[in-house]
Amino acid sequence: MNRTILAPLAAAAALFGAGTAHASLPVGAKAPAFVTKGAKRGKVMAFDLKQALRRGPVVLYFYPKAFTQGCTLEAHAFAEASDDFAKAGATVVGMSADDLPTLQKFSTEACRDKFAVAVATPGIIKDYDVALKREGAPAGMTDRTSYVIARDGRITLVHSELDYRDHVKLTLEAVNKLKK
């Protein structure tokens, strides 16, 4: 293969390959409050973290880009576990820097109408320290980081890993611990 073909392949591998990232918000920190627009079942909605916490813990999971393989598989996994999260009293919200029309479609197709996805604005990305810091990554994309936030607004779990496979399992375990 020549270099013009290898360079984009290397950039894609760096962007979406497995690897550990580090979120700066530690367990025990107060989660930054925010309000943003999102979608559930294809319908536009507002998401207010403070209001969601009044109902119970919140699983806030950041993902790089809607309709990419890992992000779609992660959304399917959260959708399949949505009844388990509901039994534990938790709200699940996916967050990315995608635009609202993309999130409307993603909420129906990938999230299977089970949970909301919302716009991670530049301010939210900065406050949660989830900017994707990979060589070749487009500006504004988020890393794959999941936070479990207790009703008191404190972070009880941080899992930052580009491999999507453990995010659902670990966040559900953390939510179930809060229930006890």
Active site (catalytic) residues: 71
* Of 65, 128, 127, 116, the residue nearest 92 (C-alpha): 116
Secondary structure of residue 76 in the 3-state scheme = helix
Output phi, psi for 68, to 5 deg: -85, 160
Q: Is 78 exposed, middle or buried (0-12, 13-18, 19+ CB in 10 A)?
A: buried
Residue 58 amino acid letter: V
> What sign does the dihedral 65-157-112-33 (CA atoms) show?
negative
Collect all residues with Cβ–Cβ distance below 8 Å to 101 and sequence separation of at least 6: none
Q: What single-letter DSSP state applies at residue 165?
A: G
Strand partners, 59: 92, 148
